[in-house]
Amino acid sequence: MQALYAQLLVGLINGSFYALLSLGLAVIFGMLNIINFAHGALYMMGAFCAYFLLNLGGINYWLALLLAPIIVGAFGMVLERTMLQWLAGLDHLYGLLLTFGLALIIQGVFQNFFGSSGLPYAIPEQLRGGMNLGFMFLPIYRGWVVIFSLVICLATWFLIERTRLGAYLRAATENPTLVRAFGINVPRMITLTYGLGVGLAALAGVLSAPINQVRPLMGENIIIVVFAVVVIGGMGSIMGSIITGFALGVIEGLTKYFYPEASNTVVFVLMVLVLLVKPTGLTGRAA
Amino acid sequence: MPEVMTAKTPGQAPGQAAATNTILDVKNLESWYGESHILHGMNFNVNAGEVVTLLGRNGAGKTTTLKSIMGIIGKRTGSVAFNGRELIRMTSDKIARLGIALCPEERGIFASLDVRENLLLPPVVRPGGLSLEQIFELFPNLKERLRSQGTKLSGGEQQMLAIARILRTGASFLMLDEPTEGLAPVIIQQIGHTIARLKKEGFTILLVEQNFRFASTVADRYYVVEHGKVIDGFANADLSANMDKLHTYLGV
């Protein structure tokens, strides 16, 4: 039983990362119509940013949680202004190719300087140790990651679905020309939206640094699964990508307990099934 | 003349002395959709406080004219002067900030926004817009449906919402693209009353209509558009004298 709970927890943690990353992808896809293949590389940059802040600037985890998404988000906005904005109106394929190329370049640069091995990032003092919940032992940092991710996901959902700024965003996703003709600076909004999606990826990177270490290729592995999550959940929905992210993490964890041989493929098997039954994804709208 | 809620053209009695004050001056306007050349030198003007109607057959370039003024057509040349400012090179968000608002033909109600969000979407660009109370007084139906999804409204209600949301912004120059298209007579009448009321309050309105019987109830002047050019123009008083010509132009 202990092992089952442990795998459930691992599933929830992976689910947190899936949710944060697929949420960012959904936000970016909605507004820019770009499938952001650079997402994994930007997630990795978030972790490296926390590492540099700590080791070069002496800036601790808590501040990194705030600063890394801002710094990497700003880097994302530069990418959008200088490259992605020119793809507006073109086929998805161009955005996919460009961001895929960017991912290779970014990962290549980091690999060149840091190799492929992991750099350590210590769990912050306040979150060390664990708690005995009676039925299982919960490392505090892991519990923190799950809860904090959930809060960030719900806050993002609230921002988009319940605020005036979110209404601009939803409207511009539907009809950017008309929203601009109402006097809203839509190009600036698109840049900020890309920054928001990238910032979420960087935040996931900081959260993962103490668990998975900081590695140049850390984004390459996770992003493949995250794309499967996005396909299953459907690109169009904010809440859909959050729920699908957590749910698939848990399903993966359960598979590790009940049938470990399939744990690496279960997400892709589900993806195939969903594609056969509902090609737009579980919560997706038809394109 | 009944009392005026908000005077949009300070120092002028709406609808009378305003007639000599040109607010929009379009000269030799040409525009393109990609490779196809749609407008071939439009020339017309609109005076403050007027309701001016563009008439013409389908595909004559009326909608394109409104879109070109609004700055949402990629390539355009010639001159569009609004209160003396040249708009031809401006982006649409800047043009909107000068106080020009468009109610598009397809209405442009957002499905992912509820009625309230749709109504509050266009930002206030200058003072003097209608308050929410005044809007609900004009369109009581909307108040009942604030929580509904925008596109769940009936066609008539969507049209009212599309007009209502641009009255809040303080824009004093409204462009309405076929506001009566596909609507029941009783709703057309309500929209007619609304336009008359807006005119009384000092709004300047550029209207595109196929239905000139409707237009004749609200318009001060007409321009006839054919093949991307203005080919004729006359005042409402001369409408009956021009009826035969008009039938030929419009093919009705």
Count A/B contacts: CB-CB distance under 8 Å: 59
Q: Is A180 on the interface with B (CB under 8 A)?
A: yes
Q: What is the DSSP string of B153-188?
A: S-HHHHHHHHHHHHHTT---EEEEE-TTTT--HHHH
Query: Tell me, what's the pLDDT at B19?
Result: 45
Instruction: Compute the nearest-CA separation of A240 from chain B (Å).
Output: 15
DSSP 3-state percent helix, strand, coil across chain B (nearest 5) = 35, 25, 35
pLDDT digits (tens, 9 = 90+) for A52-110: 999 999 999 999 999 999 999 999 999 999 999 999 888 889 999 999 999 999 999 99
- Kindly determine whether residue B113 and residue A175, on different chains, have CB atoms separated by under 8 Å: no
- Kindly determine whether residue B92 and residue A184, on different chains, have CB atoms separated by under 8 Å: no
Minimal Cβ distance to A175: which of B91, B96, B108: B108
**What residues of chain B lie within 8 A of the CB of A182, using their CB?**
93, 96, 101, 121-123, 166, 169
Q: Which two tokens stand for residue A32?
A: 């820019």
Query: Tell me, what's the pLDDT at A206?
Result: 98
Q: Is A168 on the interface with B (CB under 8 A)?
A: yes
**What residues of chain A lie within 8 A of the CB of B73, using their CB?**
none
- Kindly determine whether residue A181 and residue B113, on different chains, have CB atoms separated by under 8 Å: no
Q: Pick the more confident residue, A167 or B20.
A: A167
Q: Which two tokens stand for residue A54?
A: 């700590």
Q: Is A173 on the interface with B (CB under 8 A)?
A: yes
Strands of the sheet containing B22-33, edge to edge, are: B36-47, B22-33, B75-82, B85-86
Is residue A285's pLDDT more than 80? Answer: no
**B102, B175 contact by CB (below 8 A):** yes
On the 0-12 / 13-18 / 19+ scale of CB atoms within 10 A, A99 is buried
Name A99's Cβ contacts closer than 8 Å, sequence gap at least 6.
A34, A35, A36, A37, A38, A39, A84
Overall pTM > 0.80: yes
**What residues of chain A lie within 8 A of the CB of B169, using their CB?**
182-183
Query: Tell me, what's the pLDDT at B11?
Result: 38
Q: Is B121 on the interface with A (CB under 8 A)?
A: yes
> How many Å is the Cα radius of gyration of chain B?
17
Neighbours of B199 (CB within 10 A): 21
Q: Which two tokens stand for residue A260?
A: 């470990």
pLDDT digits (tens, 9 = 90+) for B128-178: 899 999 999 999 999 999 999 999 999 999 999 999 999 999 999 999 999
Query: Tell me, what's the pLDDT at B211?
Result: 85
On the 0-12 / 13-18 / 19+ scale of CB atoms within 10 A, A117 is exposed
**What residues of chain B lie within 8 A of the CB of A173, using their CB?**
112
Phi, psi of B21 (to 5 degrees): -95, 100
- Kindly determine whether residue A181 and residue B71, on different chains, have CB atoms separated by under 8 Å: yes
Length of chain A (residues): 287
Instruction: Compute the nearest-CA separation of B97 from chain A (Å).
Output: 6
In B, minimum Cα distance to A180 occurs at B93
**What residues of chain A lie within 8 A of the CB of B123, using their CB?**
182-184
Conformational region of residue B84, where left means phi above 0, alpha means psi within -120 to 50, and beta covers everything else: left
Query: Tell me, what's the pLDDT at A221?
Result: 86
Continuous segment of H or E residues that includes residue B132: helix B132-138
What is the mean predicted confidence (pLDDT) over A214-230?
93
Is residue A249's pLDDT more than 90? Answer: yes
